[in-house]
Structure 1
Amino acid sequence: MPLPIVVLILFAALLHASWNALLRAGNDRLWSMTVMCLAVAVASAGIALFLPAPAVASWPYAVLSGVLHVGYNLFLVRSYKVGDLGQTYPIARGSSPILITLFALAFAGETVSASALFGIALVSGGIISLAFKQRRLAVPSLPYALGTGCFIAAYSVTDGIGARLSGAPLAYTAWMCALWGVLMPLVYIGLRDARSLFAQRPGFITALAGGLVSLLAYGIVIYAMAEAPMGAVSALRETSVVFAALIGYVFLGESLSVRKLLACVVIASGTMLIG
């Protein structure tokens, strides 16, 4: 994989960990996530005005991805309700690279080298090990965290195929994110009401900023998936758990043990094999 692509993906990983930390730190995570999506919708619609439309063949993938992203949002919010960032995030992110590699093989005919496959396995294994406590995987939100990982795999492969068919990955990203950003507020209003969504609350500006950060992070990932194998891109992106572990330790008061540091070494080793 070209070094510039690797560096871009690692930057996206840092951005991704940052907005997840913002979400985990909030009191009303469903509201925070929905405000993030509003920011994504407005920014994406504005960007789309200055880009050529993606090819028609990619439109069904953009619609499907928008729906899958809403499912991902709901599962992620639910998993953070009962689990901390240092446990929930590794399960969700660690399960997805292997799933994406399998889905990409099945639906996109994509293969990776033996060394890259071993690197992906190292990254996934290292990430999931971060969720263990005293050799036990005691995660209260485990079903939702695994469900989040499945949604990540599904929308990632959908977007990888859609971006390649679009002929314009950035335009595809803008269209898909605009749709996703509109769907999530509609779901929120259905679950609650419009008044609470648009009420001014503490954390409103932070949530808007988080939405813009998430848009940039995923735009980079979609661009990378159009240029490189999806499973390898996903594994590199999931190094965000290393950043999440550090952010959780520094800003959220979560623990950072020797075992977690060793897991980070395993993840870095897998990253080097992929890169």
Structure 2
Amino acid sequence: MSIWVMMAVLGAAFLHALWNSLLKVGASRMGAMVILSIGEVPIGLAVALAMPPLDWQVAPWVLGAGCAHFFYKLFLTYAYERGDLSRVYPIARGSAPLVVGLASPFFLPDVISPMEFAGIAVLGAGILLMAQGVFASGENRRLIPYALGSACATACYTLIDGQGARVAGDAVAYIAWVFVVDGVFFAVGMLAWKGFDVLPRQGRAWGIGMIAAAASYGAYAVSVWAMTIAPIAVVAALRETSILFAVLIGWLAFGERMTRGKALAALVIVGGVMLTRL
């Protein structure tokens, strides 16, 4: 992985932490996620229509990704309703790169070196250390199954998207169509289930939701583009540095506690990232 690809993935990691943090501002978590999903549709369409059309053989990958994203958003929303950004985010994101790393030798053509596997393992250990406060601090443990469900969905769409973008031959166009399908699936599904009362009435909530949608697209597109030119498991691990950004946002913006445990976990995560570069 080149230094430029690494920097691009780190930028995507910041955008991912940013849009997650915006879900905690103002509206209900579910309402914010529905707004974000609605905002994804015009963004995806605008990009998709400006690109050459994709072959129909990409359609199963796009639909599969849309389904995986539906469950990712659903589990993540319920987890955020029960816990802080700096607790839910590490658990939700932490298990995914380990699952991808273990699955990639069986399902993907990428060759992962022993050092890269070590980096993924260290990164996962740091993320788990970051999340230990759920038990140590007596926080709401009901967030855990939802956060783990989100992690499993993340692993699924990571594997789907990495291959789907390669089949498409155009990561930007592929992601655009995934955004359209993802946004329609989640918005329509939640409105059918929860009713229109789930939608916030405040203009500020809609503005924040649209900003979150744009940040989500940027984070997602860069990550999947990187997966087309670098090993999927390594990209998946590197982008989990978004946890560092999420912890800082939680501390500086939401007043969440910065403990020694969080600081130590942050150092372990950085160590894992460095191992993926050796």
Q: Judge same fold: TM > 0.5, yes or no.
A: yes
Q: Which runs of 5+ in 1 are unaligned?
A: none
* CA distance in structure 1 between the aligned counterparts of 2:20 and 2:58, rounded to whole angstroms: 28
Question: Structure 1 residue 196: deviation in Å?
Answer: 4.9
Across the aligned residues of Structure 1 and Structure 2, the Cα RMSD in angstroms comes to 1.7
The answer to which of 213-222 and 126-135 deviates more is 126-135
* CA distance in structure 2 between the aligned counterparts of 1:151 and 1:268, rounded to whole angstroms: 24
1:13-54: CA deviation from partner (whole Å, max 9, x where unpaired): 011111111113344111111111111110110111111122
Q: Secondary structure at the match of 1:228?
A: coil
The residue that corresponds to 1:10 in the other structure is 10
1:98-135: CA deviation from partner (whole Å, max 9, x where unpaired): 11112322222433101111111111111121111297
* CA distance in structure 1 between the aligned counterparts of 2:275 and 2:8, rounded to whole angstroms: 17
Among candidates 178, 181, 184, match of residue 182 of structure 1:
184
Alpha carbons 2:31, 2:200 under 8 Å: kept = no
1:36-94: CA deviation from partner (whole Å, max 9, x where unpaired): 11111101101111111223322201101001101111100001111111111101111
* CA distance in structure 1 between the aligned counterparts of 2:208 and 2:24, rounded to whole angstroms: 12
Letter matched to residue 272 of structure 1: M
Q: Secondary structure at the match of 2:258?
A: coil
The answer to which of 189-198 and 145-154 deviates more is 189-198
The residue that corresponds to 1:59 in the other structure is 59
Question: Structure 1 residue 200: deviation in Å?
Answer: 4.2
Letter matched to residue 218 of structure 1: Y
Q: TM-score, normalised by structure 2?
A: 0.94
* CA distance in structure 1 between the aligned counterparts of 2:134 and 2:169, rounded to whole angstroms: 48
Q: Which runs of 5+ in 2 are unaligned?
A: none
Which aligned runs of 4 or more in structure 1 are off by greater than 6 angstroms? none
1:202-222: CA deviation from partner (whole Å, max 9, x where unpaired): 411011110111011100011
* CA distance in structure 2 between the aligned counterparts of 1:53 and 1:176, rounded to whole angstroms: 14
* CA distance in structure 1 between the aligned counterparts of 2:134 and 2:212, rounded to whole angstroms: 33
* CA distance in structure 1 between the aligned counterparts of 2:43 and 2:109, rounded to whole angstroms: 33
The answer to which of 240-249 and 191-200 deviates more is 191-200
* CA distance in structure 2 between the aligned counterparts of 1:268 and 1:133, rounded to whole angstroms: 19
Change (3 A) 1:26 1:129: farther
Change (3 A) 1:191 1:116: same
* CA distance in structure 2 between the aligned counterparts of 1:119 and 1:258, rounded to whole angstroms: 22
Q: TM-score, normalised by structure 1?
A: 0.95
The answer to which of 1-10 and 99-108 deviates more is 99-108
